[in-house]
């Protein structure tokens, strides 16, 4: 019984630390604590059966050149380091005047895991949004899984908040 419990705890810790080792982790840590930023980190317990997304971590900050450069560098670093995975792909990249405005990357997964990691980036209406998510689905299914989040409500201080 203790062996099963130990194995389960190890598996849970591996899932929870899936994002560690990525350059965007430092972006979430640095910018997520600043005044005026919004950081949301949801796991399978909250997401439940609504979606195959297992972790959804989102940072929204006011757009500025320093933050945008830090985030773009982290995205490039993570994309390059994970390009060794055979299923790592660039889903979408939109640039304006040579500057990245919107991107979706599939970082792939390790051979022993069926959990795939994704990074999403967007600059719109004076805000930067960075999303890290994991799930058991293919890159072509990303938009469908994200659309399922539109119907998900979470309760905070006895108030329902709808995710978009």
Q: Coil, strand, or helix at residue 72?
A: helix
The answer to whether 112 touches 53, Cβ cutoff 8 Å, is no
Residue 84 confidence (pLDDT): 75
Residues 80-127 have pLDDT tens digits of 998 876 778 999 999 999 999 999 999 988 767 889 999 999 999 999
Q: Coil, strand, or helix at residue 109?
A: coil
- Give dist(CA 27, CA 121) in Å, integer: 12
Task: Say what percent of the chain tops pLDDT 90.
Answer: 60
End-to-end Cα separation, the chain, in angstroms: 42
Residues 34-89 have pLDDT tens digits of 998 999 999 988 887 878 999 999 999 999 999 999 999 999 999 999 887 677 89
Residue 148 confidence (pLDDT): 86
Closest residue by Cα to residue 63 from 37, 43, 32, 40: 37
pTM (2 decimals)? 0.81
- Give dist(CA 91, CA 6) in Å, integer: 37
| pLDDT at 136 exceeding the cut of 50 | yes
Tokens 């990525």 -> residue: 22
Please give the structure tokens belonging to residue 18: 């899936």
| pLDDT at 163 exceeding the cut of 70 | no
């Amino acid at each position: 019984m203790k062996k099963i419990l130990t194995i389960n705890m190890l598996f849970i810790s591996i899932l929870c630390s899936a994002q560690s080792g990525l350059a965007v982790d430092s972006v979430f840590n640095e910018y997520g604590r600043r005044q005026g930023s919004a950081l949301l980190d949801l796991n399978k317990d909250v997401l439940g059966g609504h979606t195959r997304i297992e972790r959804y971590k989102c940072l929204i900050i006011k757009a500025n050149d320093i933050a945008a450069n830090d985030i773009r560098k982290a995205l490039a670093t993570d994309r390059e380091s994970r390009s060794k995975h055979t299923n790592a792909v660039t889903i979408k990249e939109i640039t304006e005047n040579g500057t990245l405005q919107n991107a979706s990357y599939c970082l792939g997964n390790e051979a022993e895991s069926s959990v795939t990691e994704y990074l999403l980036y967007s600059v719109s209406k004076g805000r930067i949004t960075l999303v890290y998510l994991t799930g058991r689905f293919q890159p072509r299914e990303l938009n469908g899984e994200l659309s399922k989040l539109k119907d998900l409500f979470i309760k905070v201080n006895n108030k329902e908040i709808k995710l978009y």
